[in-house]
Structure 1
Amino acid sequence: MSTETLLDIQGLETAYGNSQVLFGLDMQLQAGTTSTLLGRNGMGKTTTVRSILGLTPARSGSIRFRGERIEGLSPDRIARMGVALVPEGRQIFPNLTVQENLIAFAARRNASAEPWTLERIYHLFPVLEHRARNMGNQLSGGEQQMLAIGRALMTNPHLLILDEATEGLAPLIREDIWRCLDTLRTQGQSVLVIDKYVQRLIALAGHHTIMERGRAVWSGDSTTLAAQPELWHRYVGI
């Protein structure tokens, strides 16, 4: 497995107007791995994602993606470099069919990996093939999340980010999402997951970063995190 640093964040500070949210955040992600960003609500996780994507530009610090500085670039430019987001709330197109939602985002941003096609997405999420002609607003919440993941994968990204990966989903549907992430892990897709189910994420991800009040207060591997459950209670509330 590659040990190349895919994403390197150093001293990141981000604010909404006069309200500062990130205070010197440091975080690294390695290529070909699954990593998590953990913490209670309001600690800066989504703002971190927005800063990576250029949606809320950093005030200071650096963000390097595949070795290139990307802070200050437009969201469109960053997306075309190979960063794909599964946003909180899914945000699929309600008046397009499942297949149209997927085809609309087809691109080849990571030409070195096996391309994601409709057939591969349908193999990953068979229910989407059965629902291919249904409109987006006719899907259940779980099906919409599967479609949002499939849509992001159709861009063939270097990095897939899932913000609140299983928020509001029933337990059985959460397991479907975990199985998907496990498949992506075994295939070497680089993934950053934001979610609250620490014990499940320990089994799926290799590296974890915990945030508290806009800073990274802990980072390490799954073995170390599993041995310190007090960290979950203190910083994640699990």
Structure 2
Amino acid sequence: MLDVSNLQAAYGASQVLYDVSLRVGEGEVVTLLGRNGMGKTTTVRSVMGLMTPLSGEIMLGARPVAGATPEAVARLGVGLVPEGRQVFPTLSVRENLVATAANRLKRPDPWTLERVYALFPRLRERAAQVAGTLSGGEQQMLAVGRALMTNPRLLILDEATEGLAPVIRAEIWACIRALKAEGQSILLIDKNLAVLKRLATRHYIIEKGRTVWQGSSAELERDAAEVQRYVGL
């Protein structure tokens, strides 16, 4: 599905990634962990074609995509829920959902407005409301729904529940569990280790632009002291 190997990336003269490697297999939920500023979002931006890596390899299936455009990456089946939500603020909820909707992979049971509304009933209630007037939690639901409407092979969630009220956070986690049960491949960035240990297949930790640890949830428990040192939670 997604294989990132020895990724390096920079913003101008400031190098941020030095050696990042990770893998997401079909149907896996994989986490990318680390303190703020360690390179998680830069990794996502590199995968999505929002910046061109200095070196390294990014493969989507058998296709190399390092340096590809965001449009090309999206057409290959990668959906992004970006940090900060970034919904279209002047469009309605419904318009946000249909704006980039597609079923390029010809899924037999694609994500539709009705399926998204069933997942997040609050979006149905606010279908005609301008997205910029939604609460932060509602905007996050909308960002997830918008990404699902592209019917992605791989869904990336950057800071999935950051800054959300507990009740909304619980809805997002329930959504991710439901997606996992359907076999959706997910790369997930978040800080809630207690939930992530139960939810994810495998975990990667980034420290100063390098992958410094990887393992299963059982190994995450076993190496709790080391993990704590890296993630600072």
Instruction: Spell out, residue by residue over 1:70-119, the C-alpha distance to the aligned partner (whole angstroms, 9 max, x if none).
Output: 01211111111111110111111111111111011210133246200011
- Aligned match of 2:69: 74
| Identical amino acids, percent of aligned pairs | 56
- 8 Å Cα contact 1:88/1:164 also seen in 2: yes
- Aligned match of 1:193: 188
Q: Distance in 2 between matches of 1:109 and 1:155?
A: 8
- Aligned match of 1:3: none
Alpha-carbon shift at residue 228 of structure 1 (Å): 2.5
Moved over 6 A (4+): none
Aligned-partner SS, 1:134 = coil
- Aligned match of 1:86: 81
Greater shift, 150-159 or 223-232, is seen at: 223-232
- Structure 2 unaligned segments of length 5 or more: list them: none
* Residue of structure 1 aligned with 2:38, choices 43, 49, 53: 43
Q: Distance in 2 between matches of 1:225 and 1:113?
A: 36
- Aligned match of 2:50: 55
- 1:121 matched to 2:116: yes
Aligned-partner SS, 2:172 = helix
- Aligned match of 1:23: 18
Q: Distance in 2 between matches of 1:231 and 1:119?
A: 44
- Structure 1 unaligned segments of length 5 or more: list them: 1-5
Q: Distance in 1 between matches of 2:70 and 2:126?
A: 31
Q: Distance in 2 between matches of 1:190 and 1:148?
A: 17
Alpha-carbon shift at residue 187 of structure 1 (Å): 0.5
Q: How many residues align?
A: 233
Root-mean-square deviation (CA), in Å?
Answer: 1.1
- 8 Å Cα contact 1:160/1:191 also seen in 2: yes
- 8 Å Cα contact 2:5/2:57 also seen in 1: yes
- 8 Å Cα contact 1:15/1:58 also seen in 2: yes
- 8 Å Cα contact 2:205/2:214 also seen in 1: yes
* Residue of structure 2 aligned with 1:153, choices 148, 153, 157: 148
Q: Distance in 2 between matches of 1:29 and 1:14?
A: 20
* Residue of structure 2 aligned with 1:9, choices 4, 15, 21: 4
TM-score by length of 2: 0.97
